[in-house]
Amino acid sequence: MRYLPLTDTDRLAMLARIGAPDIDALFADVPEEARLSGPIPGLPMHASEMAVEKHMRQLSKKNLAAADAAFFLGAGAYRHHVPATVDHIIQRGEFLTAYTPYQPEIAQGTLQMLFEFQSQVARLYGCAVANASMYDGSTACWEAVAMAGRVTKRKRVVLSGALHPHYAEVVRTMAKFTEDEIAGASPALQSQPDNAGLIARIDDQTSCVVVQYPDILGRIPDLAEIAEAAHAKGALLIAVNTEPVALGAIKSPGELGADIVVGEGQSIGVGLQFGGPYLGLFAVRDPKHVRQMPGRLCGETVDAEGKRGFVLTLSTREQHIRREKATSNICTNSGLCALAFSVHMTLLGEKGLRQLAAENHRLACAAADRLAKVPGVKLLNDSFFNEFTVLIDGDARAIVRQLTEQNVLAGVSLGRLFPGHSELANGLLVAVTETTTEEDIETLASALEEVLA
Amino acid sequence: MARYFTDEHEWIDVDGDTATVGITDYAQGQLGDIVFVELPGAGTALSKGGDAAVVESVKAASDVYAPIDGEVTEGNSALEDDPALVNTAPEGDGWFFKMTIGDASQLDGLMDEAAYKSFCDSL
């Protein structure tokens, strides 16, 4: 895109044409007190490029990057090794510059890539159909809730207490505008999720039950039992997954009866990058629900000459077609992140994903065993994939802060995730991936031993 | 049995107290291959000119409006399995829904077949 600066002469010509004596006359409708007079306080007017670079470098030193610490943060965003090939391929001009396809059939490469992506997500989730990605896991979660409302024509949503609190917050925020009734709960620090309590909250007005798998405490709920109970009341089961690598080791939510499976795809192909952009995954188990799905779907077909081609099969519920009646709040798919996911997934293959999952689990078990030996630390979970909760003698939030000083990012404290739930304050969520070394685990354990002594 | 047409390309067959509503052959021709029809449930109250159903082709979704006031008594369940009926038999088996006639005087404002034909010719 070209940048065309305006000269003073251009400005004068435009003002003369519309009959305004000066620029202030154009903004006469803006109250005087709302206008900026002079420079913005605290922000310098300008500096040389070199000086700005130097300043920004100084600022960036305040960050503690994942690679520079013993790193155990997770809670919905995971540090994994992304092969260099992924970055190389997604930066090719054909991919990097191709934006959302509004004249889609021209962009055959983009459509084929989205088709492959959908196939991978559907398979990973054990579902019939996946869409061409969404904004992120939490908004995909809301879209699933909205979709369940359309399918069941009901407005009562039951959230598991062990759903990621940020996801629950997105659902609550959006529900203010759709007037869905949200029946939430708080998590309890128990070794197993409270399925019976969750099931008891499902009634014949419930549109859906939203369950995270593995859940926010790292536990792995029995989805089949919840699916059965939900279906018995005519409600849908929405399974939320924030760590897709886990599905290389545990059964897919679709296989266990979840009707809609959504989640965050960041783990595969997309780095942490201090918080985004991320990638929403969305799939439905039963093809009959495909018409109620948000977003766009790419399909495979043949052209008039019988050659294989790809088309945007379903996008009639999106903003550019349905305007104000679009059923999706966020229609733009995260194309480049979806591509990164797809390239990484292709490099892994099915066997590779299983091996990666096994390695994550092995290291997580090693970490859990080691941490359980630290006096003042107790392992909460009976079972987990690569993330688990430990209970610490003391406020986990303060301990995390303390350890940061020693370049140890110990985990995400439940006090940070659930402010206002003081009964959870001693919980610490520890995530381990293939990037975690035995040395990192030892560093964390000894640091904890020291601060808890 | 009298048949009326709207300028939004719905047809309405009046038979005693009930009416059957669908979209015209002209409308299905403009839309192309119909892939999905969303019908109102029985008991839905309709008001003339308001949204009643949605018809989707591959590239477009269009609203179908209620030609008169009334209440839906039945949707055409055959369209759920075979929405292409709207293409093959738009003014027969591809009907959308049946409704009660809330205000018979509203029918006077609609077109008859000859008027609708010349309306389409003028488009």
- Choose the mutation target among B38, B39, B51, B59 for the interface with A, i.e. most A CBs under 10 Å: B59
Query: What is the reported pLDDT for A320?
Result: 63
Q: What is the DSSP letter of B28?
A: H
Which residues of chain B have a CB within 8 Å of the CB of A321?
59-61
Model confidence pLDDT, tens digit, residues B4-55: 999 999 999 999 889 999 999 999 999 888 988 989 988 999 999 999 999 9
Q: Is A166 buried (19+), middle (13-18) or exposed (0-12) by CB count in 10 A?
A: middle
What is the reported pLDDT for B98?
94
Does A321 contact chain B (CB < 8 Å)?
yes
Inter-chain CB proximity B36 and A322 less than 8 Å: no
Chain A residues lying within 8 Å of B56, measured CB to CB: 316
Choose the weakest-confidence range: A296-305, A308-317, A328-337, B109-118.
A328-337
Alpha carbon of B95: minimum distance to chain A alpha carbons (Å): 20
Beta bridge partners of A309: A301
Q: Using beta carbons and an 8 Å cutoff, which residues of B are at the interface with A?
A: 36, 38, 56, 58-61, 63
Q: How far apart are CA B123 and CA A443, in angstroms?
A: 78
pLDDT at A99: 61
Supply the mean pLDDT for chain A. 92
For residue A415, what are the domain limits?
66-82+350-452
Q: Are residues A74 and A191 in the same domain?
A: no
Residue A35 lies in a domain: no
Domain membership flag for residue A158 = yes
Range in A105-119, A217-231, A313-327, A402-416 the model is least confident about = A313-327
Residue A363: CATH number of its domain: 3.90.1150.10
A322 touches chain B (CB under 8 A): yes
- For residues A74 and A100, membership in a common domain is answered with no
pTM reported for the whole predicted model: 0.85
Q: Residue A96 corresponds to which tokens in the numbers above? A: 């990097």
In chain B, the residue whose alpha carbon lies closest to the alpha carbon of A153 is B41
Quote the pLDDT of residue A110. Answer: 87
**Which of B36, B59, B63 is nearest residue A291 as measured by Cβ atoms?**
B36
CATH of domain B2-118: 2.40.50.100
Residues A231 and A278 in one domain: yes
Is the pLDDT at B1 greater than 90? The verdict is: no
Nearest chain A Cα distance for residue B115, angstroms: 31
| Residue A318 confidence (pLDDT) | 67
pLDDT digits (tens, 9 = 90+) for B58-82: 767 888 999 999 999 999 999 988 9
Q: Are residues A172 and A289 in the same domain?
A: yes
- Domain assignment present for A385: yes
CB pairs under 8 A between A and B: 15
CATH code for position A184: 3.40.640.10
Phi, psi of A92 (to 5 degrees): -60, 140
Read off the tokens for A97: 């510059």
Query: Does the pLDDT value for residue A330 go beyond 90?
Result: no
pLDDT average, residue stretch A2-19: 88
Please identify, among A310, A344, A378, the residue that sits at the C-terminal boundary of a domain: A344
Q: Looking at residue A1, what is its pLDDT?
A: 55
Inside any domain, residue A242:
yes
Average pLDDT over residues B83-105: 92
In a domain, A145, yes or no: yes
- Interchain CB distance below 8 Å, A321 and B36: no
Instruction: Decide which of A304, A328, A344 is a domain's last residue.
Output: A344
Residues of A with Cβ-Cβ distance to B38 under 8 angstroms: 291
Hey, CA dihedral for A224, A225, A226, A231, is it positive or negative?
Answer: positive
Contacts of B59 in chain A (CB under 8 A): 316, 321
Q: Do residue A399 and residue A279 come from a single domain? A: no
The domain total for chain A is 2
Cβ A317–B36 below 8 Å, yes or no?
Answer: no
Residue A331 has pLDDT above 60, yes or no: no
Residue A137 lies in a domain: yes
Q: Per the CB < 8 Å rule, is A317 touching B61?
A: yes
Q: Give the gap in angstroms from C-alpha B61 to the nearest C-alpha of chain A.
A: 6
Three-state SS sequence of chain A: CCCCCCCHHHHHHHHHHHCCCCHHHHCCCCCHHHCCCCCCCCCCCCCCHHHHHHHHHHHHCCCCCHHHCEECCCCCCCCCCCCHHHHHHHCCHHHHCCCCCCCHHHCHHHHHHHHHHHHHHHHHHCCCEECCCECCHHHHHHHHHHHHHHHHCCCEEEECCCCCHHHHHHHHHHHHHHCCEEECCCCCCCCCCCHHHHHHCCCCCEEEEEEECCCCCCCCCCHHHHHHHHHHCCCEEEEEECCHHHHHCCCCCCCCCCCEEEEECCCCCCCCCCCCCCCEEEEECCHHHHHHCCCCEEEEEECCCCCEEEEEEECCCCHHHHHHHCCCCCCCCCHHHHHHHHHHHHHHHHHHHHHHHHHHHHHHHHHHHHHHCCCCEEECCCCCCCEEEEEECCCHHHHHHHHHCCCEECCEEHHHHCCCCHHHCCEEEEECCCCCCHHHHHHHHHHHHHHHC
Which residue is closest to A314 within chain B, CA to CA? B58
A316 versus A20: the higher-pLDDT residue is A20
Nearest chain A residue to B80 by CA: give it.
A288
Contact present, A399 and A392 (Cβ < 8 Å): yes
CB spacing of B61 vs A291 below 8 angstroms = no
